[in-house]
Every structure is written in structure tokens, then in C-alpha cells.
């Protein structure tokens, strides 16, 4: 079996999916930094225990801690320094290693273990949340069934197919390139492209967009666009461009961290150089300026500061996961907190995206009960896989109607189904034009915007079955709350016609509507709106993916959403429950508040406890109690986000 | 050798790939950690532990058990971590190669097609049949990458153990050899360690030879001979410098 390299490349060459490792041993590479942090934590406990009884043994375990937790921190710190970046990580690593010089190896090791643990947990959570981006490429078929001059069908790489090539699209396959139907009749749906599940009939001469799924029978098409400019490739290119153009949300804390670390490192150097001149003390020795400066640096890197942010983010991410909300990293919480507008796609997001049979009516004043007509329709439709068939069968199943036997069943691809009942009555269901052709006269029926119509013919009795996409339950209440509680302005961005968009918007009370938008138009609109304040975009189709990638926060639906939309988004609602968004925005704001409180607490520990202790203003034991107490308080404060 | 057994249930093309893989593995020089796997890491580490202790004993008449234990602990850490580091270095090299090959496939497609054509022409394909085979192979990038890695670069997929698993093997090798040597040393202070050391070397050499599908007997004898030569030379040189 061929190895699937896509997952490996999408993971950033992670060893847990390395193609070179035996499948049995790949699990050794999972969550390595977290495993290493836990190992280091165990050794630290041993080192602490033995420090009272066997100091050499304590030092042995301390060496193991520095090896396991210190080496990764050291490599990361050197990489930061190579990029001329002095941040809080560099400060912590420097303080941890310099602690050995002044005989505070245990304190340094504690810093390293906490540092490694928080990074390990963040990595682990992010890895779980980050869905593999290879789905983006999986969507686009890699090869197609080309037909040569002799009529022989063979596989050919999509990127090598030129315009004019004839391709065979089998039932259930995704159309690989844009083209024109030259043979066959079938229905296709664009559910992967637009979220729209309504099937479209394709007959010779019709355009067939890449990404459409062929629902019924085989089609032969002629390629009109190569892979470099097909619809699907264009959307994927748009997504990539949007991801690159997306303004990088920076943790507000990062800038603070840089300033703080640079200040502390600068002050340490200053104290080491100037203290002998000010206090008339030597440079070296336990009373020397170098020793005091190092002690100052270690004191200014308290545990509380390390755990202030990761514990808060991890608690919030964990609480979201429990509710079925997947966040692709803690930084998304910051972005969510900055959002002021929220845009929704229509089909599949505000509506369910599935057709429902909303009405059955007799067009010929038939005496046949409507339930009997439904039973006959379901008996015909249960033989095929089609969105309309599913809707009819679901309704019949809900009504618990027994289905009659159908004989001489046959399909007319793209048009309908035919058969004969046990009593010999001919029955047919399908497109109005198909049924009209059987009756040899025009039918006086109308359909409303957004409605799909199917006709059922039982002998000479004619029935109309109407289908439409339904608005999700309690959507109006959700939108009212999101405006009132979170102060967000809702708007609609849709590729659908203005009439359909207005109809749904009116029902839901959405004021701002942007309709008839192609994927690139949606992207441009999102970019424009995002300039006037944080914008969250909620969508589910591939056509939404560029906009989801470009928005301040992209939110997708896990169940009905296309894999591409899920990949391009930052937040995934695993249960497709939009009502959870109100809770999520509140949680994001609370997280930001708690991170701020944690930082304040950590700084208070430095100012009120550790530094005065170094200057001899408060006893050391009190400093230790305040220091550790501060760490515990920060941890407990973060745990509030678990609720 | 012709017949169904020759292909062992594979199609001819897979058989050729398999044969090439075996050829490459057989031709590669085996030097300790170069042979992948935790078993070979264990064998290699056990042999090295035994020979180091034998040389140490050849140079010192007596060695304190605590000193020996401390030495062995240090050796354990070194062998374990160096085995893991070597494994990760190899994995990094291999991952770099796979990235480079993917880049080649994406950016130099015509050249890759030529390479593939040459490879399959050498296998006896020609004319329209060759064109069709190349078309099918080029159709799926995933399959193409695998073929180029295996055929062009001669790499083996899913053939290596995780560096940590390999390191655990090395650690087991050191611990096993150390336990036997300490056991020998505690019963017969000099000869016991020597005999146990040679026993460890024999077992490890026989085991790794079995893994490599080589003749175990000659591997055992050669390894014991090399170990005795090494410790003997060290012993006599020691006597020369410190009579």
C-alpha cells in the first residue's frame, strides 16, 4: 500500500507520522516535549528530596533535569538570540542556567520544568486542535480518468492534463477540472463548493465546474481550463493568499514580554558593572556585584510569570473543548476578544443546508390521499442516493408510512425515476419538464424563491412536492443575544441571489446583507470589513474558506462544514451549534482579563516580595512564602476559566 | 527459481523493488548504530560495554565496585543519549531528502519523468507500454514520491525504529552487559569478569549476525578474537609502560 505523504508534510515533518519510521515505533514521537517535561518534573522531585539527605544524588538528578528540560530551552533561546529577539523565554533560560553559578540549581531547575511543561502542554493542545492541512489538497483530485483517441481510459495527473482532453467522470466522483459536458446526463451538486446541496442537472453542452460532485451517472467532459486556472485551484490559491495576508494577531503579552526581558537583562548588566562603584563592594565573591546582579535576575523571573499565560489559555481551551469548541491555539482567544462584527454565510450556516420536503399538494384534485402519494414517492426514491430522495424518504420515515412495492423500476439520469405499482398503475417522479414531457402539455405551476420543485405522476394524478433549505432553529434568538450580550454587529455574506438572501435576512432580523458574492468577492468584503474592527466570519463551504482564512477569526462548522473550511478556520464548532458562540466570546473576554490579572499578580510578587528580600527588607522565609503563594494564586486564578 | 514462489505473492514490479532494497541493505557497511533497530542497538551497546570493561580490567588489577558502578552509569547515559542523537540525526537527514525530492517533483516534473522513463526502460519496458506505465506512475504524486524515494534514492520506507526506541535498546544492552560483568566480577574477581565479558560479546555478536542474516558462528569467533586482541594489546602495552 502506498504511504500517504500528505499528512507528513502537513504536520511539518513530525516524527510521529514519519514515513521512514516503522508504524509500531511512531507513537514514541508523540508529545515528546510533554513527556520530557514530566520526566524532568519527576527528577526534580527526587533532586529536591535528596537535597536534604544525599546532596551528590540530588545533583545527579538535577543534571538530568537540566538535560531534559534545559537543552530544549537553551536551543530555543539561542534561536531567539540568533534572530536578535530578547523575550521572556530568553530571560527564563538565562536565569535558570545562571542560577547554577550562584548555587541555586534547584530554583533554576524549577523554572526550566515549569517552562517546559507549559510549552509541552501548549504544543500538545495546539497539535490536537490543528487539523491536518492536507485536507486542502485532498479535496482537489490528484488524477483524472482521461480518455485517449482509441477510447481507452487511463489515469493521468491533473496537473498534466491540457485543455481539450476528454475526461470520464464516474458516479460519485469530484470533477477535477473545469470543462463542458460532451456526453451523458446527470445531476451534480456543489455542496463542497458552496454548501448548497440542491442538485443541478447537467446535459451535453453545460459547463461543469471543478469541485462539483457527480451524483448519478457517468459523464464525459472536455477540459476547458488547466489545473493552474481551474475554479478549485483558484479557491485554494485564494485561501493560501488570504492566510498570508491575514494580519498576525500578536499576543498583547508578547510585546510586554520583550520589553520586560530586555529591561531585566539590561538592569542585571548595569548592576553587575555599577554596584561596586555605588556600594563599594567587589565584583566577585558572594558579596560581589556579579552575584547580586544574578540573584536579581533570578528573582525577576518568578514561576508565577511563567505560568501566568499558558495556564489561563490552557484552562480556557480545555473548557471550550468540553463544550465541543475546538480552538486552534490560545492566541485565537485574544483575537476573539477583539472582535466587533460577525459575518455569516447563509446556506449551511444560518440555514441547515439540507433540503426538506415542505409541502405535498395535488395538482389534479386527486382523490388519492397525500400520504399515499408520499409513500409512492418514497418507494421510488429509496432506490437512489440523491438530496431530494433523502428528503422524501426522511419525511416518509417520520410519518411511519409503509411503502408499496415498485416493479419495472428505471432511472432516467438527471431527470427522474419511473416504475409500475403492483396494480399495474404507472408512476413517475422527477423534474417538472420531464413529467410535462410525459403528459404532453405545459404545467401551470409556480415555485417561490429558494424552492425546489419535483412532480409525481401516479397514473393520471399529478402531485407537486416542494423542497427548501430551512433556517436553523432558534437562530433569531441567537442573533439577538449576540448583539445584546456581546455587542457584535451581525451581517450576512452569501453567494446566493439577493432575493433569497433578503428573505432569510428579514426572517432573522439581519440588517447588513451582501449577496451574489463569489469566493474572491467574499474575501475582498471580509478584508474590507476587517479593516474597520475585528471581524469573525462563520461559514461552512469551500467558497467560504478564503474569507474564513482572512477574517480576524474564522469559525467553521465541524459536522456539515467542508474539510477545507474546517482547515482554513481558527475555531471549529464540533456540534454545529451556533448558540455556543455567545458563550465563546464571553469566555475569550474573560481569558484576556484573567491573563492581565495573572501578570499583575506575578509582577506584584517581584516588586513586593522577592526584590525587598534581596535588599534585606523582609526575611527570606516570608519572601519564599509570598513567592510560592503568588504562583499558586496565579494557577488558581487561571483555573477559574475551566468553568 | 522461476514460478509463483519467486515473486512471493508480489507483482513483478514490487518484486524488483524488493530485490533492489535487499541488495542495497546487503551492500551497506554495518557499523554498530548504522544498522537500524533497537535489537541491533542493544547488541552493539552490550559489545561496547563489555570491551570497555575488559580493557579497563586489563589496565587495572583491581577496581572498586562502586567506581565500576559509577563508570557504568556514566557509560549508560552516554550510550543511551548518543544512540538517540544518532537516530535523530539520521531521521533529520532522511526528512530533508524527502522534502528535496518533493520539491524536485513539483518543480522539475519533466526531468523526473525522464528519470522515471530511464529507470523503467532499464527494466525492459519500451514503446507505448513504457509511456503508459510512466503516465500511470506520474498520475499520483504520492505514489511518484514513494517510487522516486525507493528506486532513485534507494531509501527504505517504514524501516527504521524511533530514535527513542533505539536508545532504549542501547540502554538495555548496557544494563544487561553491566549486570553480567558485575555478576562475574563479584564471584571470580578477574576471570569471572573476563569470561562474562567474552560471553556478552559472543551473544551480542551472534544475535546481531542473526539479525543481519549472516553466519553467527564466524561472527562470534571474529568478535571474541577482536575483543581478546584489543584487551590483550592494552594489557601488554600497560605492562610495557608500567612494568
B145–A25 C-beta distance less than 8 A: no
Please indicate whether residue A178 is annotated as part of the active site: no
- Looking at every residue in chain A, the average pLDDT score rounds to 82
pLDDT of residue A604: 86
Residue A90 lies in a domain: no
Of the candidates A121, A114, A87, the residue with the CA atom closest to the CA atom of residue A307: A114
| Residue A345 pLDDT greater than 70, yes or no | yes
Angle, helix A475-484 to helix A498-508, in steps of 10 degrees = 70
B139–A22 C-beta distance less than 8 A: no
| Residue A607 pLDDT greater than 80, yes or no | yes
Catalytic residue among A345, A496, A567, A570: A345
Q: Compute φ and ψ for B122, nearest 5 degrees.
A: -65, -20
Are both A339 and A486 inside the same structural domain? yes
For chain A, say whether B97 makes contact (Cβ under 8 Å).
no
Residue A219 lies in a domain: yes
Which chain B residues contact residue A6 at CB under 8 A?
A: 142
How close, in Å, is residue B176 to chain A by CA atoms? 22
Average pLDDT for B182-197 = 84
How close, in Å, is residue B30 to chain A by CA atoms? 19
d(C-alpha A247, C-alpha A530), whole Å = 10
3-state secondary structure of A16: helix
Last residue of a domain, one of A471, A489, A520: A471
Between A470 and A427, name the one with better pLDDT: A427
Of B98, B102, B165, the CB nearest to A28: B165
**A positions 152-191 inside 8 Å of B (CB):** 154-157, 159-160
How close, in Å, is residue B95 to chain A by CA atoms? 7
Residue A496 lies in a domain: yes
| Residue A635 pLDDT greater than 90, yes or no | no
pLDDT band at A504 (very low <50, low <70, confident <90, very high): confident
| Residue B27 pLDDT greater than 60, yes or no | no
Which chain B residues contact residue A157 at CB under 8 A?
A: 138-141
DSSP B79-137: HHHHHHHHHHHHHHHHHHHHHHHHHHHHH-HHHHHHHHHHHHHHTT--HHHHHHHHHHH
Which chain B residues contact residue A21 at CB under 8 A?
A: 91, 158, 160-162
pLDDT of residue A118: 78
| Residue A64 pLDDT greater than 90, yes or no | yes
Q: Pseudo-torsion of CA A315, A317, A321, A326, nearest 10°?
A: 180
Last residue of a domain, one of A588, A612, A636: A588
pLDDT of residue A492: 92
Of the candidates A337, A402, A388, A411, the residue with the CA atom closest to the CA atom of residue A570: A337
pLDDT band at B22 (very low <50, low <70, confident <90, very high): low
Residue A636 lies in a domain: no
3-state secondary structure of A200: strand
Q: Pseudo-torsion of CA B152, B157, B163, B165, nearest 10°?
A: -150
Grid coordinates belonging to A148:
485517449
3-state secondary structure of B61: coil
Between B6 and A189, name the one with better pLDDT: A189
| Residue A363 pLDDT greater than 70, yes or no | yes
Per-residue pLDDT of A391-435, as tens digits, reads 898 888 888 888 888 888 888 877 788 899 988 889 999 888 888
Average pLDDT for A165-172 = 87
Between B56 and A286, name the one with better pLDDT: B56
Domain containing A411 equals 352-471
d(C-alpha B164, C-alpha B166), whole Å = 5
How close, in Å, is residue B205 to chain A by CA atoms? 24
Per-residue pLDDT of A122-166, as tens digits, reads 777 666 555 433 444 455 677 788 888 777 788 788 877 888 889
Of B135, B142, B160, the CB nearest to A21: B160
pLDDT of residue A232: 66
How close, in Å, is residue A13 to chain B by CA atoms? 7
3-state secondary structure of A578: coil
- Looking at every residue in chain B, the average pLDDT score rounds to 81
Average pLDDT for A378-403 = 85
3-state secondary structure of A477: helix
Are both A330 and A414 inside the same structural domain? no
pLDDT of residue B172: 95
Residue corresponding to grid cell 496565579:
A634
pLDDT of residue A129: 53
Are both A494 and A572 inside the same structural domain? yes
d(C-alpha A333, C-alpha A290), whole Å = 41
Mutate to test the interface with A, among B128, B157, B160, B170 (most CBs of A within 10 A): B157
| A-B contacts at Cβ under 8 angstroms | 87
Are both A194 and A332 inside the same structural domain? no
Q: Pseudo-torsion of CA A612, A618, A619, A622, nearest 10°?
A: -90
pLDDT band at A382 (very low <50, low <70, confident <90, very high): confident
Average pLDDT for A453-457 = 88
B162–A21 C-beta distance less than 8 A: yes
Of A6, A13, A21, the CB nearest to B142: A6
Angle, helix A88-101 to helix A71-82, in steps of 10 degrees = 130
| Residue A52 pLDDT greater than 70, yes or no | yes
Which chain A residues contact residue B161 at CB under 8 A?
A: 21-22, 25
For chain A, say whether B130 makes contact (Cβ under 8 Å).
no
Q: What's the order of all strands across the beta sheet hosting A534-539?
A: A325-327, A571-573, A553-557, A534-539, A339-344, A489-493, A512-514
Residue A235 lies in a domain: no
Are both A151 and A224 inside the same structural domain? yes
Number of H helices, E strands in chain A: 24, 22
B164–A28 C-beta distance less than 8 A: yes
For chain B, say whether A56 makes contact (Cβ under 8 Å).
no
Which chain B residues contact residue A13 at CB under 8 A?
A: 95, 98-99
Are both A388 and A464 inside the same structural domain? yes
Q: Which of A388-402, A488-502, A560-574, B192-206 has the lowest mean pLDDT?
A: A560-574
Residue A52 lies in a domain: no
Which chain A residues contact residue B95 at CB under 8 A?
A: 13, 18, 20
For chain A, say whether B136 makes contact (Cβ under 8 Å).
yes
The domain ranges of chain B are 38-235
Are both A345 and A482 inside the same structural domain? yes
| Residue A247 pLDDT greater than 80, yes or no | no
Average pLDDT for A200-224 = 85
| Residue A248 pLDDT greater than 60, yes or no | no
Task: Give the Cβ contact number of residue A429 at 10 Å.
Answer: 28
Average pLDDT for A465-493 = 87
How close, in Å, is residue A134 to chain B by CA atoms? 12
pLDDT of residue A61: 93
Average pLDDT for A237-260 = 68
Are both A462 and A526 inside the same structural domain? no
Average pLDDT for A212-237 = 79
| Residue B92 pLDDT greater than 70, yes or no | yes
Which chain A residues contact residue B165 at CB under 8 A?
A: 25, 28
Are both A504 and A570 inside the same structural domain? yes
Residue A454 lies in a domain: yes
| Residue A256 pLDDT greater than 50, yes or no | yes
pLDDT of residue A133: 37
Are both A380 and A461 inside the same structural domain? yes
pLDDT of residue A66: 94
Mutate to test the interface with B, among A2, A8, A12, A20 (most CBs of B within 10 A): A20
Is A588 within 8 Å of A580 (Cβ atoms)? Answer: no
| Residue A4 pLDDT greater than 80, yes or no | no
Positive or negative torsion for Cα A48, A50, A51, A56: negative
Of the candidates B47, B28, B39, the residue with the CA atom closest to the CA atom of residue B219: B47
Q: Which pTM value belongs to this model?
A: 0.67
Are both A415 and A482 inside the same structural domain? no
A6–B136 C-beta distance less than 8 A: no
Is B161 within 8 Å of A179 (Cβ atoms)? Answer: no
Q: CA-based Rg of chain A, rounded to a whole angstrom?
A: 32
What contacts 24+ positions apart, CB below 8 Å, involve A124-130? A124/A31, A124/A33, A124/A34, A125/A314, A125/A317, A125/A318, A125/A329, A125/A330, A126/A328, A126/A329, A127/A14, A127/A31, A129/A317, A129/A326, A129/A327, A129/A328, A129/A329, A130/A328, A130/A329
Residue A429 lies in a domain: yes
For chain A, say whether B98 makes contact (Cβ under 8 Å).
yes
Are both A389 and A369 inside the same structural domain? yes
- What is the ipTM metric for this complex? 0.76
For chain A, say whether B139 makes contact (Cβ under 8 Å).
yes
For chain A, say whether B199 makes contact (Cβ under 8 Å).
no
Which chain B residues contact residue A8 at CB under 8 A?
A: 98
d(C-alpha A8, C-alpha B99), whole Å = 10
How close, in Å, is residue A51 to chain B by CA atoms? 19
d(C-alpha A225, C-alpha A209), whole Å = 10
Residue B166: closest C-alpha in chain A: A25
B162–A15 C-beta distance less than 8 A: yes
pLDDT band at B3 (very low <50, low <70, confident <90, very high): very low
Average pLDDT for B6-25 = 56
Mutate to test the interface with A, among B165, B168, B169, B171 (most CBs of A within 10 A): B165
| Residue B18 pLDDT greater than 70, yes or no | no
Which chain B residues contact residue A28 at CB under 8 A?
A: 162-165
pLDDT of residue A132: 36
Q: What percent of chain A has pLDDT over 90?
A: 14
d(C-alpha A241, C-alpha A233), whole Å = 12
How close, in Å, is residue A588 to chain B by CA atoms? 38
d(C-alpha A28, C-alpha A23), whole Å = 10
For chain B, say whether A13 makes contact (Cβ under 8 Å).
yes
For chain B, say whether A439 makes contact (Cβ under 8 Å).
no
**Structural domains in chain A (count):** 4
pLDDT of residue A536: 93
Of A25, A142, A154, the CB nearest to B132: A154
Which chain B residues contact residue A156 at CB under 8 A?
A: 135, 139
Residue B105: closest C-alpha in chain A: A159
Amino acid at each position: 500500500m502506498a504511504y500517504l505523504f500528505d499528512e507528513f508534510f502537513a504536520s511539518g515533518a513530525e516524527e510521529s507520522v514519519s514515513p521512514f519510521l516503522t508504524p509500531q515505533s511512531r507513537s514514541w514521537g508523540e508529545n515528546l516535549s510533554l513527556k520530557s517535561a514530566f520526566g524532568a518534573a519527576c527528577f526534580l522531585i527526587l533532586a529536591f528530596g535528596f537535597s536534604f539527605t544525599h546532596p551528590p544524588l540530588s545533583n545527579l538528578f538535577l543534571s538530568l533535569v537540566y538535560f531534559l528540560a534545559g537543552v530544549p530551552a537553551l536551543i530555543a533561546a539561542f534561536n531567539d538570540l540568533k534572530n536578535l529577539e530578547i523575550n521572556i523565554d530568553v530571560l527564563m533560560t538565562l536565569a535558570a542556567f545562571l542560577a547554577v553559578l550562584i548555587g541555586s540549581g534547584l530554583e533554576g531547575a524549577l523554572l526550566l520544568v515549569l517552562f517546559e511543561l507549559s510549552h509541552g502542554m501548549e504544543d500538545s493542545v495546539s497539535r490536537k486542535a490543528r487539523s491536518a492541512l492536507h485536507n486542502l489538497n485532498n479535496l482537489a483530485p490528484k488524477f483524472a480518468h482521461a480518455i485517449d483517441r482509441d477510447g481507452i481510459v487511463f489515469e493521468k495527473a491533473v496537473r498534466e492534463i491540457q485543455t481539450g482532453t476528454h475526461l470520464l467522470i464516474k458516479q460519485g466522483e469530484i470533477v477535477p477540472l473545469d470543462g463542458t459536458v460532451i456526453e451523458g446526463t446527470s445531476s451534480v451538486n456543489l455542496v463542497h463548493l458552496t454548501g448548497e446541496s440542491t442538485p443541478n442537472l447537467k446535459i451535453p453542452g453545460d459547463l461543469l465546474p471543478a469541485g462539483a460532485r457527480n451524483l448519478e451517472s457517468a459523464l464525459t467532459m472536455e477540459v476547458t481550463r488547466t489545473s493552474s486556472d481551474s475554479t478549485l485551484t483558484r479557491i485554494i490559491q485564494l485561501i493560501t493568499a488570504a492566510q498570508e495576508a491575514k494580519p498576525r494577531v500578536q499576543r498583547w503579552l508578547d510585546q510586554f514580554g520583550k520589553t520586560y526581558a530586555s529591561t531585566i537583562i539590561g538592569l542585571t548588566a548595569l548592576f553587575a558593572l555599577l554596584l561596586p562603584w555605588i556600594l563599594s563592594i567587589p565584583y566577585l565573591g558572594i558579596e560581589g556585584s556579579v552575584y547580586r546582579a544574578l540573584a536579581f535576575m533570578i528573582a525577576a523571573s518568578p514561576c508565577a510569570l511563567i505560568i501566568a499565560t499558558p495556564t489561563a489559555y490552557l484552562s480556557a481551551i480545555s473548557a471550550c473543548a468540553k463544550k465541543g469548541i475546538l480552538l486552534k491555539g490560545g492566541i485565537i482567544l485574544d483575537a476573539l476578544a477583539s472582535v466587533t462584527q460577525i459575518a455569516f454565510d447563509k446556506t449551511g450556516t444560518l440555514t441547515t443546508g439540507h433540503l426538506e420536503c415542505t409541502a405535498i399538494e395535488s395538482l389534479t384534485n386527486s382523490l388519492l390521499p397525500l400520504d399515499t402519494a408520499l409513500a409512492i414517492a418514497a418507494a421510488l426514491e429509496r432506490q437512489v442516493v440523491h438530496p431530494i430522495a433523502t428528503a422524501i424518504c426522511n419525511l416518509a420515515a417520520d410519518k411511519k408510512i409503509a411503502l408499496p412495492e415498485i416493479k419495472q423500476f428505471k432511472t432516467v439520469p438527471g431527470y427522474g425515476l419511473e416504475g409500475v405499482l403492483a396494480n399495474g398503475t404507472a408512476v413517475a417522479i422527477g423534474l417538472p419538464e420531464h413529467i410535462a414531457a410525459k403528459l404532453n402539455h405545459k404545467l401551470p405551476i409556480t415555485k417561490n424563491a429558494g424552492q425546489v420543485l419535483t412532480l409525481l405522476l401516479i397514473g393520471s394524478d399529478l402531485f407537486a412536492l416542494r423542497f427548501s433549505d430551512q433556517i436553523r432553529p432558534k437562530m433569531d434568538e441567537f442573533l439577538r443575544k449576540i448583539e445584546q450580550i456581546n455587542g457584535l454587529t451581525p451581517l450576512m455574506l452569501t453567494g446566493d441571489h439577493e432575493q433569497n438572501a433578503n428573505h432569510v435576512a428579514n426572517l432573522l432580523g439581519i440588517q447588513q446583507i451582501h449577496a451574489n458574492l463569489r469566493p474572491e468577492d467574499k474575501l475582498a468584503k471580509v478584508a474590507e470589513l476587517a479593516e474597520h474592527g475585528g471581524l469573525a466570519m462563520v461559514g461552512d463551504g469551500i467558497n467560504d474558506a478564503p474569507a474564513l482564512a482572512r477574517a480576524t477569526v474564522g469559525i467553521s462548522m465541524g459536522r456539515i462544514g467542508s474539510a477545507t473550511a474546517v482547515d482554513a478556520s481558527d475555531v471549529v464548532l464540533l456540534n454545529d451549534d451556533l448558540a455556543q458562540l455567545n458563550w465563546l466570546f464571553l469566555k475569550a473576554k474573560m481569558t484576556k482579563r484573567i491573563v492581565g490579572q495573572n501578570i499583575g499578580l506575578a509582577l506584584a510578587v517581584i516588586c513586593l516580595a522577592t526584590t525587598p528580600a534581596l535588599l534585606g527588607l523582609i526575611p527570606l522565609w516570608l519572601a519564599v512564602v509570598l513567592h510560592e503563594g503568588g504562583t499558586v494564586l496565579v494557577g488558581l486564578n487561571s483555573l477559574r476559566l475551566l468553568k | 527459481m522461476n514460478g509463483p514462489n519467486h515473486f512471493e505473492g508480489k507483482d513483478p514490479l514490487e518484486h524488483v523493488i524488493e530485490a533492489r532494497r535487499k541488495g542495497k541493505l546487503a551492500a551497506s557497511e554495518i557499523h554498530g548504530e548504522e544498522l537500524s533497530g533497537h535489537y541491533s542497538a542493544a547488541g552493539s551497546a552490550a559489545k561496547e560495554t563489555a570491551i570497555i570493561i575488559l580493557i579497563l580490567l586489563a589496565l587495572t588489577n583491581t577496581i572498586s565496585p562502586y567506581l565500576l558502578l559509577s563508570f557504568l552509569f556514566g557509560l549508560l547515559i552516554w550510550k543511551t543519549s548518543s544512540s538517540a542523537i544518532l537516530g535523530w540525526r539520521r531521521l533529520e537527514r532522511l526528512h530533508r531528502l524527502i522534502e528535496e525530492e518533493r520539491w524536485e517533483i513539483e518543480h522539475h516534473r519533466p526531468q523526473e519523468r525522464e528519470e522515471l522513463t530511464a529507470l523503467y526502460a532499464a527494466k525492459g519496458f519500451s514503446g507505448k507500454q513504457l509511456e503508459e506505465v510512466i503516465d500511470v506512475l506520474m498520475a499520483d504524486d504520492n505514489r511518484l514520491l514513494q517510487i522516486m524515494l525507493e528506486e532513485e534514492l534507494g531509501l527504505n520506507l517504514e524501516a527504521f525504529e524511533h530514535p527513542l526506541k533505539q536508545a532504549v535498546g542501547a540502554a538495555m544492552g548496557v544494563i544487561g552487559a553491566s549486570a553480567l560483568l558485575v555478576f562475574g566480577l563479584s564471584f571470580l574477581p578477574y576471570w569471572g569478569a573476563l569470561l562474562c565479558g567474552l560471553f556478552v560479546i559472543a551473544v551480542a555478536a551472534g544475535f546481531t549476525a542473526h539479525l543481519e542474516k549472516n553466519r553467527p558462528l564466524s561472527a562470534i569467533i571474529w568478535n571474541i578474537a577482536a575483543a581478546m586482541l584489543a584487551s590483550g594489546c592494552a594489557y601488554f602495552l600497560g605492562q610495557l609502560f608500567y612494568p
